[in-house]
Amino acid sequence: MNWFTVFPLIMVVTLIIMGLYVVLFKKNLIKIIMGIALMQNGANLFLVSLAYREGYVAPIWTSAPSADMVLPTPHALTLTSIVIGVATTALMLSFVMMIKKHYGTINSDEVRRCRE
């Protein structure tokens, strides 16, 4: 466990904590969605960094150098997760557009007609 393998994991924790801070304390709905996008990037980075082994190359077959490759399964999981992230971000942004049309504001303190 040298610096080279620990550094992505520190970045993952930083990204997720920054994303959680934005979701918990910022009041603008678009900023909340950006915070969720930060968290998605952190989770994807975590999955990719799990696959790394020291000195191996990227798992691409075409014109590959003859060396061992890193594990390809987390790369597949990350691709799925990126696609799901795109879909959810698009849906949430379209919801925010409609809330602006109905309420006139996108401050989360005022978008609370369903209370108690």
Partner 1 sequence: MNVDLLTQSPVFVLAIPLLFAFLTPLANKVSKELRNAVFLIGLLLTTLFVSLMAYEVYTMGSWIYVFGAEQPTTGLTTQSFFRITFLADGFSVLAALTIIITALGAGIYSFGHMKESNGLGKFYTLFLLTLAGVNGMVLTSDLFNLFVWFEVTSIASCGLIAYHNDRGESVEAALKYMIISVIAGLLLLFSIGFFYGEYGVLNYFLIRDSMTGSLIDILAIGMVMVILAMKASSVPMHMWAPDAYSEAPEPITPFIAITSLGSLFVLFRLLFFVFRGAVETSAIGSILIILGVLSMFIGVSMALKQSDLKRLIAYLSVSQVGYMMMAVGVGFATLGTGDYGIFGARAMEGGLFHMINDGVYKALLFLSAGGIVYVADTRDLNKLGGLAHHMPYTTFFFIIGGLSIAGIPPLSGFSSKLLIYKSVYLYNPVLAIIALVVSIVTLALIGKIFFNAFLGPDQGVGKKIPRSMILAMSILTIVVVLFSLFPNYVVAEIVVPAIEALGVGA
Partner 2 sequence: MIDIVLQDIWSPIIFILVGILVSLIAYMFYLMGNPDYKRTKYKGDPFISGNRPPTDLKELHVGGDNVYWGFTKALRKYLDPLVEGHTGIVNDYVYWFVVTLAVVLVFLYIM
Asked whether position 69 contacts partner 1 by CB under 8 A, the answer is no
Alpha helices by DSSP H, the chain: 3-25, 29-50, 73-103
Q: How far is the CB of 85 from partner 2 (least distance, A)?
A: 17
Name which position in 9, 23, 34, 96 contacts partner 2 (CB under 8 A): 23
Alpha helices by DSSP H, 51-110: 73-103
Distance of CA 40 to the CA centre of its chain: 1
Name which position in 80, 82, 86, 107 contacts partner 1 (CB under 8 A): 80
Q: From the CA atom positions of the chain, what is the Rg in Å?
A: 19
Asked whether position 113 contacts partner 1 by CB under 8 A, the answer is yes
- Give the torsion sign (CA, 71, 72, 75, 77): negative
Q: How far is the CB of 35 from partner 1 (least distance, A)?
A: 9
Q: How far apart are CA 112 and CA 54, in angstroms?
A: 51
Which residues does residue 57 pair with via DSSP β-bridges, in sequence order?
A: 69
Name which position in 3, 63, 87, 109 contacts partner 1 (CB under 8 A): 87
- In the list partner 2, partner 1, none, the entry touching 24 (Cβ below 5 to 8 angstroms by class) is partner 2
Name which position in 7, 14, 25, 79 contacts partner 2 (CB under 8 A): 25
The contact set with partner 2 (CB under 8 A) reads: 20, 23-27, 29, 32, 108-109, 111-116
